[in-house]
Amino acid sequence: MWVPRPIDDAVVESLAEWADVRLGWGATAASWADVAPEVQGVLLRTARVDGAMMREAPQLRIVARHGVGLDTVDVAAAAEFGIEVTTTPAANSRSVAELAVALLMITRRGLGPALATAGFGAGAGSSGTAPADRASMTGRELSGATLGLLGYGRIAQLVAGIARDGLGMRVVAHDPHLDDEAIREAGAEPAGLDDLLRTSDALSVHVPLTDATRGLLSARELALLPAGAVVVNTSRGGIVDEEALVAALESGHLAGAGLDVTSVEPLPGDHPLRHRPDVVLTPHVGGQTREAMSRVGHEAAAHLRRVLLSPS
């Protein structure tokens, strides 16, 4: 079994109880070339497994994702070669939801400039905050505002509960895979995409990255948001058109953005989103709490055990 990137130590120990585990890091790091001829399972966190790699691994039976997204696995090739691909869809939901709410709080409150003045984030390095500067750092409360959720799966529903019950927000959701009654039963008001955008003081993105969702939030969609709205994305980069987002921020139409994911990770040092105090960037750490890493790792390990300890 190959584990190319670091995961929870306890998960590695549990795997080693029944499998020959080769790690892709540390003093005895094993590369794909080292393991491909005999590898039967891969526990995949942030590395990639494509069709060419699968072709080199005649004994490979399962790629277990340490997470939800499948953009790092060639799923079509896996089906062709009879390789099972699994995910851990619920294990890190709470952690991602909490980060989404944190970014909503920071951006809606307009804390980016304050953090920069204090030495954090874009524009950091100021020697102090003049009284006039402090007076201009006036944000907005989440209580009483409308939260729009683009996508209404597990994570979005957790965000909805925190926002509605904990922060006093009105919650509206759009999900083409759920009917209106299902959205209502899960605690949000259903809306079409354009109506969702027109009513969202804060928009949080929770759809997967697919051909249908790539660039879904373009200049047209961002222009539908109310003036002063904020956008948060903890799902996948590529869903928000970043050039359009920069333009909407520069024009003053949007008040801020909180992004845990971007189209390229990390963003280049000269990317304009890196240098705006109204943008808060985190490096794709939504699921990286100790609790979530443990749950995700053990769930992925359970998938590996199920497949590899069953008859071929």
Report the largest interatomic distance among the alpha carbons of the chain, rounded to a whole angstrom.
71
Task: Report yes or no: 42 and 64 within 8 Å, Cβ to Cβ.
Answer: yes
Q: Which two tokens stand for residue 26?
A: 């540390």
Single-letter amino acid, residue 124:
A
Q: Decide if 66 is catalytic.
A: no
Q: State yes or no: is 177 an active-site residue.
A: no
Residue 128: partners with Cβ closer than 8 Å, 6 or more residues away: 117
The reply to whether 236 belongs to the active site is: yes
Question: Which of 22, 154, 274, 284 is labelled catalytic?
Answer: 284
Burial zone of 207 (CB within 10 Å; 0-12 exposed, 13-18 middle, 19+ buried): buried
* Element of type H or E holding 259: strand 254-259
Alpha helices in 17-74 (DSSP H): 32-35, 51-55
Which of 13, 265, 275, 291 is labelled catalytic?
A: 265
Phi, psi (5° rounding) for residue 202? -140, 130
Q: Which residues of 32-42 are buried (b: 16+ CB within 10 A; e: fewer)?
A: beebbeebbbb
Instruction: Round to whole Å and give the CA distance between 246 and 233.
Output: 14
Residue tagged active-site, from 108, 236, 276, 295: 236
Q: Active-site residues: which are they?
A: 236, 265, 284
